[in-house]
Amino acid sequence: MRVLFSSTWGYGHVFPMVPLAQACLAAGHDVRWVANEPAGPLVEAAGIPFTAAGLDTQGVREATTRNRLHVQTLPPQDRAAFSFPHMFGAWSTPAMIAQLLPLASEWRPNLLVHEAAELASPLVGAVLGVPSVTHSFGGPVPPSFLSEAGSRLEHLWSEHGMVVPPYAGCFGSGYLDICPASVLPFDPAHIPSRQLLRPVSWTGRRPTELPMYLQRDERPLVYLTLGTVNNDNLVLRTAIEALRVLPLRVLATVGPDGDPYALGAQPPHVTIERWVPQSQVFEHCDAVASHAGSGTFLGALAAGLPQLCMPQAADQFRNTAAGIRRGAALGLSPDVATGETIASAVMRLLEETSLRAAAKEVAAEIADMPSPADVVHVLSELAP
């Protein structure tokens, strides 16, 4: 079976699909991954053949800058409703289709697997008569976002003599859902065929030796991150200053493009890194304080860790609400995330057993979901 994976450029859009692509390779299938140029190093580091298509690095930079200018006057919780259909639909999909279609026409895959923000694959699959499966990167994208994106892509479908299907063509041949039912942000009744897929945390290859910052002592370790996109130093600085006076150790990340030294000198029990192997960190820390991006949110839950969610944008507000509702997380919106409230919330994570118990219940739920290897067998039945 030839399987063509496709994605946009972000870490949080690439990493969730890596375990399934690796499982396809391990099962002996022929796999290729097509994505915007900046995703290349992430995919290739996972051992998956990669081809760049669509926006190049400069194009991605221009699109993200353009989006930032448009949403800067909107409340953080309202920005995703603009960003998704514009940045992932109108701005990036035309360039992806222009290159993905000839690539797929030449390679002739048996199956297309695209992450939920990569909206060229449904059209390519329709043109070639190849099944196109949507792979989630967390909870489902709100149907209104997909419908708006579809309306902005009508001209592309019409160029091929077709009417854009509901939800921009997503879910036509199935939906791979990595979000456990108990933390779904809303009922995905609009999705006709859902196949559960265990979220396996992949954040790159681990170091051969356990880093010093993960080696245990008598103090609990709190992992602090705002992800790779909205890693605002002001928020991180506030959180670090609040946590470093508590009886615990802190591991904080500023993102691959961040500068750890910009946060100033820190005491020995505080470590600031650009990037860490997050899946390994989950095995050694005691609690997580983050932006509630889907990779961190689901990774912490899979490890049975209670978490403080400090959403900044995108799907993070939806994840936060779901984690609070499940009893496995606490949340602080941007307008109330002060040093005092962050410190208080983190101590609750470490002291209130109900939060950890709920997180462990979700971890058990995740462990019962079908593995990537299991789902490969399901996908093989879809391929002609």
- pLDDT tens by residue, 18-31: 999 999 999 999 99
Residue 230 has pLDDT above 70, yes or no: no
Residue whose entry in the numeric block shows the structure tokens 């699959």: 125
What is the reported pLDDT for 214? 83
Pairing of strands 221-225, 194-196: unpaired
Instruction: Report the C-alpha gap between 129 and 168 in whole angstroms.
Output: 17
Closest C-alpha among 208, 279, 205, 266 to residue 240? 266
Please indicate whether the domains covering 2-199+369-380 and 212-367 agree at the CATH topology level.
yes
What is the reported pLDDT for 215? 82
User: What percent of the chain has a predicted confidence (pLDDT) above 70?
Assistant: 98
Instruction: Report the C-alpha gap between 370 and 277 in whole angstroms.
Output: 24
Instruction: Report the C-alpha gap between 131 and 119 in whole angstroms.
Output: 14
Work out the pLDDT band at 325, boundaries 50, 70, 90.
very high
Domain 2-199+369-380, classified CATH 3.30.450.30, yes or no: no
Angle, helix 294-302 to helix 316-326, in steps of 10 degrees? 20
What SS3 state is found at 25? helix
Q: pLDDT (tens digit, 9 = 90+) per residue, 97-143?
A: 999 999 999 999 999 999 999 999 999 999 999 999 999 999 999 99
Which comes out higher in pLDDT, residue 266 or 122?
122
Burial 167-179 (b: 16+ CB within 10 A, else e): bbbbbbbbbbbbb
Q: pLDDT (tens digit, 9 = 90+) per residue, 179-207?
A: 999 999 999 999 988 999 999 988 777 77
What is the reported pLDDT for 382? 81
Q: pLDDT (tens digit, 9 = 90+) per residue, 342-382?
A: 999 999 999 999 999 999 999 999 999 999 999 999 998 88
What is the reported pLDDT for 202? 80
Residue 304 has pLDDT above 80, yes or no: yes
Domain 212-367: assigned CATH number = 3.40.50.2000
Q: Where are the domains of the chain?
A: 2-199+369-380, 212-367
Structure tokens at 186: 């809303």
